Structures are given as structure tokens and as C-alpha cells.
Structure 1
Amino acid sequence: MNLTPAVSAAEPTTPAVRAGYALFILTLINLVNYLDRYIVAAALPSIQADLNINNTQSGMLGTVFIIVLMLASPLGGYLGDRVPRKMLVAGGVLMWSLATGASGLAASFVALLVARAFIGIGEAGYGAVAPSMISDLYPRSMRTRMLAFFYIAIPVGAAAGYGLGGFLSKTYSWHVAFFAGGAPGLILAIMAFFMPEPQRGAMDGPDAQTKMPFSVGLSGLAGNKAFWATTAGYTLMTFSVGGLAFWMPSYMVKTRGMTESEAGFLFGAVTAVAGLLGTVSGGWLGDKLDRKREGGGLGMSGLGLLLAAPCMFIAVNLESQVATFAVIGVAQFLIFLNSGPINAAIVNCVQPAFRAFAMGLNVLCIHLLGDAISPTLIGKIADVASLTTAIEVNAVPVLLGGVALIIGAKLFREAVPQQR
């Protein structure tokens, strides 16, 4: 049975009512999501000194969060296909914001580890369902751009986390940085209750709005080659990017002699600018290339990763700090081209009634073999060799991820009929 959705002539061509409000709130929540994730990276040198922990233990702060997130995400996706998604979003942001604030109260490594785990539980109730909501609010012809707008929050939120974490840790303490990070989510949790709840498959034609037994959807997903190739490329990219994001500020402090606030601010600024430009460019180009050829945006994403890999390797071998940040910025621009196209490809190649679970399963995969293990592995390589060597090795998964996405683009063209 072919469970890859075909393009229907009866598909809507305009957004749903109040789609803009929902997209705005979901994007703000996503920004806070990544702000809370990366505060710990910028504050890490202060945390290490205060709690007396080594690089491997520090890496575990990133790993335990991701492990909990990935294990809880399929459940969040399963519920997202069956219960009102705005309730999952509101509950999720409330939980992780409280856990972020609780991180600031931690007086030991174990207490901080537990708080980071609860942040993962909260984010699992949100990450799997938000893209599926957006796909039901906007027609397929606009989906890559709207998802790109949603994912603009990743570089901006990460930059805010680096900047806020570095500044507050140096000016006050790392405890204060976590308190400040948790506050905005409490307001957004309330605002999420007023979002519209779109009908599943509303933007994919009347045939897509039927319910699907879980066993049937799971069977179809298991044989969906386009989904798995895209997920493989996404996983390899996530491994590398997660490790780089966690350790780059520490690299600039320990290897290049920068202060925490300088490293957090500059790396955050580069991430914000490169990520914003890359995400917007990827959304616009992705929709344009997909209109010319199915899978065009995904192919562009693969090419971006192929070009980003050597930039990551070269960056840490440059003596000039300015040159290092410039090349890292180019690498991030090429990587963030992925944000809209890769997620649009996932929701477009899966039946609407099974999208939230598919996104949850994707989250499980990209983190299980991606950034759940990369912070700790990179920390281990740094302990055995050096942080410079660890970051050099980290460019290899990006290269392999580019190959996987180019293969995924070919499989996507074979699975989804041309939209005309």
C-alpha cells in the first residue's frame, strides 16, 4: 500500500483563519526553546568551575537533555495525532520553562542533570506537534517558507542563549542566567491556549482528512524510503551541529583566550546573523526549487552540507579569531539552509494523519544517533586529544549528511507526484 500523500487538485491555496497568530506564537516558543537549550553552553565554564566537573561530565548536561527529549518525542507525536495540539504545546512550554528556572537552583551536578532532564520532557510535548500544526495551517505551496519562518527561531534563540548566558554568568552568576531564561515561557504558555486548532490534513485536500489506524500508519512509514533517507541526513547533521554548538564557546575561551562574555556574544551574534540569513534563504529557495522539481529544496540542503563540511574543518585551523568566526559563519549559513526544506520534506512525504508521530520518530532518530551522544563524545575526544581535534573530526558527519540528503531528494521525487 502506498501511503505517501499525492498532490490533490482540491488542495486549498490560502492559509487558514488566524494562521498568522498561531505561527507567531509557535515561533516565539521555538525561540525560547533554543534560548533555554544554549544558556548552559555559554555558562559552562562558570558551571565547571563552581561545581568542579570535567569535560565529559559537562557533555552529559547536553546528552541527558537530548536523551529524555528523544525518548519522549514519539509519545508526544502519538498524542499529537489524537488530542488538541495546542494543549500539548502549552503544557510543554510551561514544564520546560519551570525546569529552566529550577536549573538555577541547582547546587550540585546531579541536581542540574535532573533539571535538564525535565526540560527534555517539556520540549518533547512541543517539538513533534508544532510542524504538523503549521502544515495544517498553510497550503503546500507556502509550507517551506512558513516552516522556515518557524525555524528562524533556532539561530536567534541559540544566539540569545549564548549572549544571555555569557553576559549574565559573568555579570551576576550562571544561576541568574537560568532564572532569566525560564521567565518568558510562562507567558507564552498562556498565549498558546488561544491558538486555533486546525483540522488534520486541512491543507492537503479532502482525501487527506481521514483518520488512520496507528498500525497502518506505522507500516507505511516503515517502507517510506524518502522519509528515512531524509532522517538519516538530518541525523548526521544534528550530530555535528549539536556538538559544535555545545563546545564552540568553550573552545574560544580555552583555546583562543577569550572571556565567557566575549565568546558567548560573538558566537551568538555569528549564529544569529548566519542562521537568520540561511534560514530565510533556504525557505525562499526551497519553495522556488520545489515548484520547479519535486525534492529540489532537499537537494539544495544536501549541497549546502557538502560545502559546509570543509568550512568547519578550516575554521579551527585559522590563527585569526576574525577569520575563524567568518568561516564558521559561512558554515552555519550553509547548514541553516536546511531548516525549512528538510522539515517540509518530512511533512510532505508522510500522510497528514500520521505527521505528528512521524515528526516525533524523526526527533527520536536525529537525537538518538545525533546530538544525544555528540557533546559527550566530543568532550571525550577533547580529554584524550584536544578540543581542536574534536571539532575537526566533527566535520565528517556533515559531509556524510549532505550525501544522504541528495539521495533523499531523488527518492522524494520518485515518491511524490509533480505538483502542477
Structure 2
Amino acid sequence: MSTSSAVATPNSSAPTAARSGYYALLILSLINLVNYLDRYIVTVALPYIQKDFQLNNTQSGMLGSFFIIVFMLASPLGGFLGDRIQRRWLVAAGVVLWSLATGASGLATTFGMLMVARACVGIGEAGYGAVAPSIISDLFPREQRTRVLSLFYIAIPVGAAAGYGLGGWLSEAYSWHMAFFVGGAPGLVLGAMAFFMPEPERGAMDGPEAQAKLPFLVGLQGLARNAPFWWTTTGYTLMTFAIGGLAFWLPSFLVNERGLAADKAGFLSGAVTALAGLLGTIAGGWLGDKMDRRMHGGGLRMSGVGLLLAAPLMFLAVKVHALGPMFAIIFLAQFLIFLNSGPINAAIVNGVPPAFRAFAMGLNVLFIHMLGDAISPTAIGKLADLSSLGFAIELNAIPVLLGGLALLMAGKLFKHVTA
């Protein structure tokens, strides 16, 4: 393994390189927090949006699906550019764009205007999401990647919780418009800071042979034959379908079928998600590195077991009516699911050549959303209109179960790639 500095500057001392790496990790993690805060504000503000625009559940689900469709289609382009230009430029420009679009969502006076604003959020997030993990993989050596990527992905539950809590409180106390105004502000500051992040050499932590450029068609052919990548993407997609649909509809389920006020539903959902996500992501990073040292694909195998255990808990949670036991079960299910954040993404960046990582991440994003949470909010909304929201949510246990089996297969086939 290479011992080159994190920022690939020969005269930099190791402590300076480490500080630069952790500074970039901090900025990228804060951006990821704001990323998910902006995504989840809309879910808890949804009952107010439905009331203002007179939307049924199917139409409301389209609001989530349209954002994801734009995001996933733009992600491979973001990854393609991220393998060829300075990635910090894509990060900074993407953050500023989606933050402005989040604020613009609060100005929407029609459902169509709101859909356009959310589409712009998706474009901005695509410029960031595909390249951030590849930057981190070039700042830290392989044996630390699962842990540092877990720190990066801690921002998902914390950002989701902040979106739930902030969106619920501002929508209840002021209006759903104010929730979007406030949610868009932090990203403008972080976008400016991203311009000054270190830009590491591609493959800087994988040895000199890994820093060679890779023709796009050659990389694409190699990725097409990379069975562990596709099994990992399959498992990740099935999980994303279920979790994306649940996250979009959980606050509405608590309001409409459990009788909670929107602010209380947002607070409870956010608190449980934040705690379970924080503990699960940290535990997954530590266990994933430990399992990877014991066997090839150890982190993926652990992730598969986590999903297999989470599936029956997801089904059971909706069956329980008492809030305390219901949220306890949701906590356990989310803990087991968030074990996967670091290991899955570390497996993707470790399993493809460094010069092709951003595109591979972008392609992964395309598939997990195209066949995952791009369709699950609308599908669950449609099923809820035909039966009930509770029954529609129960069925989410099936793709989680299948996703666990796919990750076990990915772990069995996985081998590290260094060039």
C-alpha cells in the first residue's frame, strides 16, 4: 500500500496531510448532513403541502419520486466529470445550487413550481454525491476507509433527524415555506468553504500503479464484468427502495394513522433515526473494518446479515400500536440497517480502479435510485390509496430481506481491486 500523503504533495509532513484530510472529511460530512436535512424537510412538511395544493397520496409521492429521478439521472454525469476535473469544484457548485433551490422551494405557489425547484435540488446533489466518497478514498488508506466513510455517512441519520425536527417545528410554528427558507441557508456557507478543500491525487492511497489514467471504455468494460459491484448494487437498491419509501411516508403515517401532531411526529421520527443511525453507522464502521481484515468481503457479509435481521422488525413495527414499543422496534430495525453505510460504500470504492471510482459511484447512485426510492414513494402512495398506508409500509420488509441475500452474495464474491 502507498504511504504517500493524503493530499499528494511530496513536501507535506504526515501530520499536515492528516489535518488536511480530516478537514476535508469534516466539510464533506457537514455538507452531507445538510444534504439529508434538505431532503427530509419535505417529508415532514408534506401534510401541509398536501393541504395547500389539494394533493392525494399518489401525487404527493410523485414529489419525492421526481426529485430522485432527476438526481439519479444526473449522477453518472457527475461521476464522469469527477474522474476528469477537480472534484472540489463539483462539490462546491452542487452545494450552492441545491441550497438556492431549497430556498426557492419555499417560494413555490403551485405544485408544478415546487416540482421544478426539487428537480434543481436533485441536480445539485448529483454533482456532490458521486464524487465525495472518491475524494475520501484518496485521502485515507484502505484499512481506514470503512471507518472514515462511516463518519461521513453518520450525516445521513443526523441530517434526516434535523430535517424531520426542523421541518416539523417550522411548519407547525410558521409555515412549510419557512422550513425551506431555513433549510437552504447553511449550504451556501459550506459551498463556499468547499472551494478551499484539499484536492487529492486519484489513487494517492493505493500505490503508484493505481494512479494511472484509465480510458473510459476500458473502465466501463471492466465494471460490466465486476460481479461483486453488481451484487452490491442490487442489495443496496433493494434496501434503498424500502428505506426511501419508509422515510418519505413515516411522518405522514404517524400523523394520519397514529394521530400525532406533525411537530411531534417529526421530533420522534428524527430522534429515533438520529440515535439509531449514529450508533449503527459507528458500529458498522468498526465492525466492517474488523470483518474485512478477517476475510474478503467481510463487511458486505455483515451488512447482509444486518438486513436479514432488520426485515421482520420492519414488518412488526407497523403492527404495534403503542408508541413506545413501536419506536423501540423501529430503532432496532434502523440500527441494523445503518450498519451498512460504511461497509457498502467502502466495498464500492475498494472494488473498482481509483481512476474509475467517481463514475462507479455515480452509476451505483443511478441504479439504487432508479429502481429504489425513485419509485417507492409513489408506489407506496398508490398502494395506500388502494388499501392503507400501514399495509403499504409493511410490504417494505420484503425488499429488505432480498437485499440482505444479495449482499451476502456480494461478500462471497468480493475481491479488492488496486488498478
TM > 0.5: yes
Task: Report what 1:340 is aligned to.
Answer: 342
Q: What does residue range 194-343 of structure 1 map to in structure 2 within 5 Å?
A: 194-343=196-345
Q: Which digits, 9 at most, give the CA deviation of each residue in 1:5-41, with x for residues without a partner?
A: xxxxx42287552001000000000000000000000
Structure 1 residues 381-404: Cα deviation after superposition (integer angstroms, max 9, x where no partner): 000000010001111000000000
Distance in 1 (alpha carbons) for counterparts of 2:102 and 2:367: 25
Distance in structure 2 (CA, Å) of the matches to 1:12 and 1:251:
51
Q: Provide the residue aligned with 2:377 in structure 1.
A: 375
Give the Cα separation in 1 of the matches to 2:370 and 2:417.
32
In the TM superposition, what are the counterparts of 1:382-401 in structure 2 within 5 Å? 382-401=384-403
Shift of 1:50: 1.1
> What amino acid maps onto 2:318 in structure 1?
V
Report the alpha carbon displacement of residue 198 of structure 1 after superposing the two structures with TM. 0.2
Partner letter of residue 384 of structure 1? L
The 1:299–1:99 alpha-carbon spacing in structure 2 relative to 1, beyond 3 Å, is: same
1:347 maps to amino acid: V
Consecutive aligned runs of 4 or more in structure 1 exceeding 6 Å deviation: none
Matched with 1:156 is: 158
Give the structure 2 partner of residue 416 of structure 1.
416
Quote how far apart the aligned CAs of 1:416 are: 3.0
Which whole-Å CA distance do the structure 2 matches of 1:313 and 1:387 have between them? 13
Q: In the aligned structure 2, how far is the partner of 1:50 from the partner of 1:177?
A: 15
Query: d(CA) in 2 for partners of 1:211 and 1:15?
Result: 19
- Which residue is 2:103 aligned to? 101
Structure 2 CA distance for aligned equivalents of residues 264 and 139 of structure 1: 38
Q: 1:133 & 1:42 partners in 2: Cα distance?
A: 32
In 2, Cα distance between the equivalents of 1:20 and 1:390? Answer: 42
CA contact (8 A) 1:39 1:164 kept: yes
Aligned residues, how many? 407
SS, match of residue 416 in structure 1: coil
Give how far 1:364 is off: 0.2
Unpaired runs of 5+ residues, structure 2, are 8-16
Give, in angstroms, the shift of residue 51 of structure 1: 1.1
| Secondary structure in 2 matching 1:194 | coil
Separation in structure 1 between the aligned mates of residue 231 and residue 91 of structure 2, nearest angstrom: 28
User: How far apart, in 1, do the equivalents of 2:389 and 2:403 lie?
Assistant: 22
2:2 equivalent to 1:11 = yes
2:5–2:204 contact (8 Å) kept in structure 1: no
Structure 2 residue identity aligned to 1:410: K
Q: Secondary structure at the match of 1:12?
A: coil
Q: Is the 8 A contact 1:13 1:141 kept in 2?
A: no
Residues 89 and 51 of structure 1: CA distance in aligned 2, closer, same or farther (over 3 Å): same
**Do residues 132 (structure 1) and 123 (structure 2) align?**
no
Q: Unpaired segments of 5 or more residues in structure 1? A: 1-9
Q: For residue 233 of structure 1, what is the amino acid of its counterpart?
A: G
How many angstroms apart in 2 are the aligned matches of 1:11 and 1:403? 34
Distance (whole Å) between structure 1 residues aligned to residue 99 and residue 21 of structure 2: 25
Identical-residue share of aligned pairs (%): 71
Give the 3-state SS of the residue equivalent to 1:200 in structure 2.
coil
State the TM-score, normalizing by the size of structure 2: 0.96
- Could you give the per-residue CA deviations for residues 18-77 of structure 1, whole angstroms, max 9, x where no partner exists? 001000000000000000000000101111111111101110110000000000000000
CA RMSD of aligned residues (A): 1.1
Letter in 2 for 1:162: Y
| Distance in 2 (alpha carbons) for counterparts of 1:376 and 1:395 | 17
Q: Which residues in structure 2 correspond to 1:28-107 (within 5 Å)?
A: 28-107=30-109
SS at structure 2 position matched to 1:198 = coil
Identify the residue that residue 189 of structure 1 maps to in structure 2.
191
Distance 1:347 1:406 in 2: 18
Q: Distance in 2 between the 1:160 and 1:319 partners?
A: 25
After superposition, give the CA deviation of every residue in 1:238-284 in whole Å (9 maximum; x if it has no partner).
00000000000000000000000000000000000000000000001
* Counterpart Cα distance in 1 of 2:6 and 2:182: 35
Cα distance in structure 2, aligned partners of 1:153 and 1:15: 22
TM-score by length of 1: 0.96
Q: Distance in 2 between matches of 1:135 and 1:271?
A: 26
Deviation at 1:417, TM superposition (A): 8.0
Match of 1:7 in 2: none
Partner Cα distance (1:60, 1:416) in 2: 39
